[in-house]
A and B are shown apart, each in its own frame.
Chain A
Amino acid sequence: MRQFFVFARKEFYHIFRDKRTLLILFGMPVVQIVLFGFAITNEIKNAEIAVLDQSRDYYSNRLVQQLQAGSYFKIDQELQSHQAIEAAFREGRIKMVVVIPPKFGESFFHLHKAQVQLLADAGDPNTATTLINYARAIIGNYQQELNGPQAMPLTINTTVRMQYNPALKSVFLFVPGVMTLILLLVSAMMTSITIAREKELGTMEILLVSPLPPAMIVTGKVVPYIVLSFINALVILGMGVWLFGMPIKGSIVLLLLECALFVLTSLGLGILISTVTDKQQTAMMASMMGLLMPTVLLSGFIFPVESMPLPLRLLSNIMPAKWFIIILKDIMLKGSGLREVWPQSLVLCGMTLLFVTISIRKFKIRLS
């Protein structure tokens, strides 16, 4: 036991004396979560638009006011002619132009029909669609307001409620994603690198020619990373809750237990990688290419798994991250308990067991 304690302490020395490791361990999570939380977002706020109001009557003025009433649009310029539209788009700042033809109010009340043209910069199709939808909704509201309380003969009222994330905050998607990514990176990449480093520097040679059992060498190296990864998980959760207002509806104990489980899964993966690599560089590349990319792309973190072609959907099942993201979202947003997330937890347990078993069987007690 004393051996184990001293071994783990040595590992902490390595971590705390290497600025690069420290930076990856604690700098990266904070930077990533801030990046994903603030910079990379699909929500649209204060999109800059231009208005070409050819009517300039009371009703068109009110429409324009309504458009900028919410926090969605900001009117950047008022155009004077159709020719100016093209120029305005070319400047690049403007995402949408609203054209109100002459005699807007008159047409509406006398012809019972008025037109508004929306031009959007579809260079970015997602943004364009979102902007048009926002604008349509605002115009629709305005139309009802003008019609007054008199009801239309037959109507279907849609009441929409965005369950679990009423404000449609993308942070709710990113926090679980980033947390998964970071735990996977820290646990898998750092452990595979740290074991590969012993091999590369030749210290593994001495460790092997010592009474230390291989299992002790591996656990001694891994335990410090379990502790640090767990601290990382807490930091990310804390930032998610206090900085981005992410709710934790379910049991926090269960959430932390699931985090611990996923840390173990990732560590298993890291040890597995380290058994097949001898160089830190290789270990890093293997973790980056073999873990990071598929995790980002296939776990449902950025792209929904449901809309992928079947082979990729099947492939996504072997990503530990996919299951962990489901667990996180269920517990944090839906308030699910173990009753709901046990299948995913079981999958993670199984994966952990598999990784560790293979690693033990593949661990080399000799150099070749």
Chain B
Amino acid sequence: METPIVVQDVHKSFGKVKALHDISFTVNEGELFGLIGPDGAGKSTLFRILTTLLLADKGQATVNGLDVVKDYKAIRKIVGYMPGRFSLYQDLTVQENLDFFATIFNTTVAANYELIEEIYVQIAPFKDRPAGKLSGGMKQKLALCCALVHKPVVLFLDEPTTGVDPVSRKEFWEMLQRLRKKGIAILVSTPYMDEAMLCDRVALIQNGRLLEIDTPQHIIEQYNKPMWAVHAKRMYPLIQDLRSFPETESCYAFGEYLHLTLKHGEADLDKLQAYLQPKGHEEFSMHPIQAGIEDCFMELMKSEKV
């Protein structure tokens, strides 16, 4: 069995813009590999190079041992690709789309039904509805079905959960977990950092560069700074005050809490208390927490920018 995806020193520029800079990574068999990064980081460009739609300026890449430039025809037979934008025929019904994509891959829906069954049963009630009239989550499930219908060896999913409600997002990731167990290597990109925890390994990409490739657990373990969750009745003045405190290293809002790290860790706590005392924040609370994957990414992205 060949390694599903190998990328070596890939560079790509569009005019003066460096879209990808020195990208290298591998995705192993049955691995769910996440590419996490903000919009414009170069995720889609990388996907298009791997799906043989774009040529890299420099570097090599293979998919299932096939070169993305020389063997593009062979690659196109074995991969499943779901582009970032919803790219099915909006005026065809769910069933027609599925049949169409099955046929152009020389197969039938029935032949690989067991692979798509779990997803298909969810969209089956709408099978006579035009694809353009489905909800965001349904559209993505249909697109995943279409990308899976020919039983690909490698699956490329470019931002499959963008614009999808939280419940559908969760379901979608559960499906990916099950597909991975069936031995399909999956490269998935997402701008949502919380989804990183659901991947076997993740790569953080920013401004066309990979920052770190590791398992999500490792990334969290490497983060060794103490962190506090801070809360007060009025959050806006609190964040202002904390950010102007000279010993603050970082302070980001996460939901209803602020995640705070200090330059000298716990040694600065007294100073902070003395600093905040005269400001008179109501319902002030502060407790130590374990950093999550999102904190780690914020930290990584920050250090890259400096």
Contact = CB atoms under 8 A, between A and B. Distances in A.
A69 B261 CA distance: 105
A367 B51 CA distance: 11
A13 interface: yes
B54 interface: yes
Contact of A366 (B52, B77, B88): B52
B105 A366 contact: no
Contact of B76 (A3, A211, A368): A211
Interface in A276-332: none
Given A206-B83, A208-B76, A209-B79, A13 B91 contact: yes
Contacts of A13: 89, 91-92, 96
B55 A366 contact: yes
Contacts of A2: 103
A99 B90 CA distance: 70
B243 interface: no
A218 to B, nearest CB: 14
Contacts of B88: 203, 206
A157 interface: no
A3 B92 contact: no
Contacts of A211: 73, 76-77, 104-106
B85 to A, nearest CB: 5
Contact of B99 (A6, A18, A207, A208): A6
Contacts of B228: none
Scoring B72, B90, B104 by chain A CB atoms within 10 A of each residue's CB, the highest score goes to: B104
A203 B72 CA distance: 18
A206 B87 CA distance: 7
A299 to B, nearest CB: 35
Contact of A367 (B54, B86, B90, B96): B54
B53 A207 contact: no
A205 interface: yes
A201 B90 contact: yes
Interface string B94-121: 0010011101111000000000000000
A211 to B, nearest CB: 5
Given A10-B92, A202-B87, A203-B88, A210 B104 contact: yes
A202 B83 contact: yes
B103 A209 contact: no
Interface string A319-348: 000000000000000000000000000000
Contacts of B81: 205-206, 209
| A contact residues, range | 20 to 34
B169 interface: no
B129 interface: no
A212 interface: yes
Contacts of A262: none
Choose among B89, B92, B96, B99 the residue with the greatest number of A CB atoms under 10 Å from its CB.
B89
B106 A365 contact: no
A10 B106 contact: no
Contacts of B96: 10, 13
A205 B87 contact: yes
A7 to B, nearest CB: 7
B96 to A, nearest CB: 7
Interface residues of B, number: 30
Contacts of A6: 99-100, 103-104
A10 B106 CA distance: 16
Contacts of A366: 52-55, 72
Contacts of B180: none
A7 B53 CA distance: 21
B127 interface: no
A10 B96 CA distance: 8
By CB atoms of chain B within 10 A, which of A2, A17, A18, A211 has the most? A211
B83 A205 contact: yes
B48 interface: yes
Contact of B91 (A7, A18, A206): A18
A203 B101 CA distance: 11
Nearest to B72: A365
Contacts of B105: 210-211
Nearest to B89: A203
Contacts of A368: 54-55
A14 interface: yes
Interface in A177-221: 201-203, 205-212
B53 A10 contact: no
Contacts of A202: 83, 85-87
B276 to A, nearest CB: 52
Given A17-B91, A202-B83, A205-B53, A367 B48 contact: yes
Interface in A200-254: 201-203, 205-212
A14 B104 contact: no
Contacts of B85: 202
Nearest to B83: A205
Given A6-B99, A202-B83, A365-B72, A209 B91 contact: no
B299 to A, nearest CB: 35
A7 B105 CA distance: 12
Nearest to A210: B104
Contacts of A201: 87, 90
Interface of A: 2-3, 6-7, 10, 13-14, 17-18, 201-203, 205-212, 365-368
18 contacts: A3-B104, A6-B103, A6-B104, A10-B96, A14-B91, A201-B87, A202-B86, A203-B87, A205-B87, A206-B87, A208-B76, A209-B79, A210-B101, A210-B105, A211-B105, A211-B106, A367-B53, A368-B55
Given A17-B91, A205-B81, A210-B104, 7 more contacts: A3-B103, A14-B92, A202-B87, A206-B88, A208-B53, A367-B54, A368-B54
Interface of B: 48, 51-55, 72-73, 76-77, 79, 81, 83, 85-92, 96, 99-101, 103-106, 146
